[in-house]
RNA sequence: GGAGAAAUGGCAGAGUGGUCGAAUGCACCAGUCUUGAAAACUGGCGAGGGUCACACCUCCGGGGGUUCGAAUCCCUCUUUCUCCGCCA
């Protein structure tokens, strides 16, 4: 969430930049500032009363020691009265605090100045494109047909066991999946990211820390018996490792990578765009995450983008990079680059990675700070990205590498799969 | 699942009703010494709110209670450790 102090000091800037998301935030921002002022006024009043009560308590202690019981009892009466008035003020204060917090949860992150204005994904700005789209024969198939033809993914079996969106990978398909995960992790660790194995269920505090709660509760699977949530991305457990943390400046940068399955309810998504591997309820993803000094976070974002480019170059997949417009930008992000791989048979781009800088938006919720050189505590910047999301990479591989004689395995993956062709 | 013990500043660890926001050690910061570093010595050093700055307020796992006054007593929840049971 945004810091009230920022809104107070940069009100016009915040409203102007939030307008890139096609929202008029002026009312919310003004309300937040007003609530904060109310809060402080009540706090001041309450503090004065408490101060007096504290003083009386100390005096009573002294009076008891010197045996002046009568005087002490008089002060007790006064103290009881003060206590009554604090109760009312405390209630007011808590109400204001809660109202302010709830309002702040509703305000999305302020977009970076270079975020293009725009409404939909059509307004995203393509900043890079690489790789040739292969000329496929007339008989070229979409990945779900290929999966069936070579018997490597069984969607029906997943339907039977669980429901739609839970595919079963089989034989060479399962092996290729495992190969990709290992390959991605190897690339990430080679780039200095430390590998973690993280829990796949998280508690409420963690969901809240990264911003899935309270806004997107409906998108997560909720295990009500234990009040835990299945993770929609490794971002949630990985980022929450740093909840309530005070770092030293030299501890940064922190670079984390981890593989996890991801679970998403995807309520309300149907139709052709969710066929095959395009949109699943359970999928695998390797994530990279960084905790950075505010001054370095945009350099770190560029590094992450370059890193993901390197992987796609090695896989020799046609891809492009988009700078997301305000309307398409995630709630918590200040700047996001999406990577899309071209699905030749579907003739459309599939998002396979999203690399974002959250600046202090998550750190504020997480209370993730560092002690700067002046000894003051400052919020860190957090960033994360996929490196990479498996199903759509797999879709891209199957479709782009299909031949009349099976599906070729990219050279870089052969050491991991142990075979160079799916047939 | 049952029984017991515990949870204190970045970390370790004292503190069982009244100058305790909290001893001490480590870590950290500044200085002295040194060519430089280490060591040693001197000083500083929890967090949040508030203020121009002070004052002041809050915080000893979370929540509630007793009391004029709670880190300290009571209730409750959570987590950790030990023992027992069960189990991949």
Express each pLDDT in A68-91 by its tens digit: 888 888 888 888 888 888 888 888
Is the CB of A136 less than 7 A from some atom of nucleic acid strand B?
no
CA→C1' distance for A60 and B71 (Å):
21
Q: Tell if A41 CB is < 7 Å from nucleic strand B.
A: no
| Cβ(A29)–Cβ(A10) below 8 Å | no
Q: What is the CATH number of the domain that holds A276?
A: 3.30.930.10
Q: Is residue A205 part of a domain?
A: yes
A111 domain-assigned? no
Claim to verify: residue A213 and residue A67 sit in the same structural domain: no
Q: Measured CA to C1', what is the nucleotide nearest A244?
A: B47
Supply the ipTM of this predicted assembly: 0.84
pLDDT, tens only, A249-285: 888 899 999 999 999 987 766 665 678 888 899 999 9
Nearest-CA residue relative to C1' of B50: A44
Tell me which of A72-81, A119-128, A375-384, A410-419 is least confident: A72-81
pLDDT surpassing 70 at residue A393: yes
Which residue is nearest nucleotide B69, judged by alpha carbon to C1' distance? Answer: A57
CA A177, distance to chain mean position in Å, is 24
CATH of the domain at A28: 1.10.287.40
| Residue A352: closest CA among A399, A393, A312, A410 | A393
* Same domain assignment for residues A250 and A157: yes
- Same domain flag for A125 and A75: no
Domain-terminating residue out of A65, A81, A106: A106
Residue A241 (CA) to nucleotide B79 (C1'), in angstroms, measures 16
Q: Which two tokens stand for residue A39?
A: 């809060």
A207 to each of A159, A243, A283, A374, how far by Cα in Å? 28, 11, 19, 33
A389 and A323: one domain? yes
Domain presence at residue A112: no
- A45 lies in a domain? yes
Residue A86: burial class (beta carbons within 10 Å; 0-12, 13-18, 19+): middle
- pLDDT for res A36: 93
* CA-to-C1' span, A16 to B54 (A): 37
Predicted pLDDT at A270: 62
> Are residues A358 and A408 located together in one domain of the fold?
yes
**Whole-number Å distance, CA A302 to C1' B76?**
50
Within 7 A of a protein CB, which nucleotides of strand B? 10, 18, 28-29, 45, 47-51, 55-58, 68-69
A44 nearest nucleotide via C1' and CA: B50
Last residue of a domain, one of A73, A106, A139: A106
- Scanning every strand, the nucleotide with its C1' closest to A83's CA turns out to be B68
Q: What is the maximal distance between C-alpha atoms in chain A?
A: 103
For residue A372, tell me if it sits in a domain.
yes
Q: Which structural domain range is residue A47 located in?
A: 4-106
Total of domains in chain A: 2
């Amino acid at each position: 969430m945004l810091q009230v102090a920022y809104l107070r000091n940069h009100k016009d800037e915040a409203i102007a930049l939030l307008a890139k998301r096609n929202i008029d935030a002026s009312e919310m921002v003004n309300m937040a500032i007003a609530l904060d002022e109310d809060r402080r006024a009540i706090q001041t009043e309450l503090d004065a009363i408490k101060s007096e009560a504290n003083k009386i308590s100390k005096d009573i202690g002294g009076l008891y020691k010197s045996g002046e019981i009568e005087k002490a009892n008089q002060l007790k009466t006064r103290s009881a009265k003060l206590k009554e008035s604090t109760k009312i003020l405390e209630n007011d204060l808590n109400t204001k605090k809660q109202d302010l917090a709830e309002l702040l949860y509703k305000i999305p992150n302020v977009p970076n100045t270079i975020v293009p204005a725009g409404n939909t994904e059509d307004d995203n700005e393509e900043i890079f494109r690489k790789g040739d789209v292969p000329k496929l024969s007339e008989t070229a198939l979409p990945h779900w047909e290929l999966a069936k033809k070579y018997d490597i993914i069984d969607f029906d079996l997943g339907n039977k066991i669980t429901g739609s969106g839970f595919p079963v990978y089989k034989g060479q398909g399962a092996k290729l999946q495992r190969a990709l995960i290992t390959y991605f992790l190897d690339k990430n660790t080679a780039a200095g990211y430390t590998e973690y194995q993280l829990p796949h269920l998280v508690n409420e505090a963690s969901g809240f820390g990264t911003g899935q709660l309270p806004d997107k509760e409906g998108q997560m699977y909720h295990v009500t018996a234990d009040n835990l949530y299945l993770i929609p991305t490794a971002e949630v457990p990985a980022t929450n490792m740093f909840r309530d943390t005070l770092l030293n400046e030299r501890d940064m940068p922190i670079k984390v990578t981890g593989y996890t399955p991801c679970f998403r309810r995807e309520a309300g998504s149907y139709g052709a765009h969710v066929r095959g591997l395009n949109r699943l309820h359970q999928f695998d993803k390797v994530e990279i995450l960084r905790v950075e000094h505010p001054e370095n976070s945009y350099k770190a974002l560029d590094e992450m983008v370059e890193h993901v480019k390197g992987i796609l170059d090695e896989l020799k997949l046609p891809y492009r990079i988009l700078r997301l417009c305000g309307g398409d930008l995630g709630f918590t992000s200040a700047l996001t680059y999406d990577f899309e791989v071209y699905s030749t048979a579907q003739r459309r781009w599939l998002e396979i990675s999203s690399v974002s800088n959250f600046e202090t938006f998550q750190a504020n919720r997480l209370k993730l700070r560092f002690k700067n050189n002046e000894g003051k505590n400052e919020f860190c910047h957090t960033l994360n990205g996929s490196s990479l999301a498996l199903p759509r990479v797999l879709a891209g591989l199957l479709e782009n590498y299909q031949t009349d004689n099976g599906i070729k395995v990219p050279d870089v993956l052969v050491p991991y799969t142990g075979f160079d062709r799916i047939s």
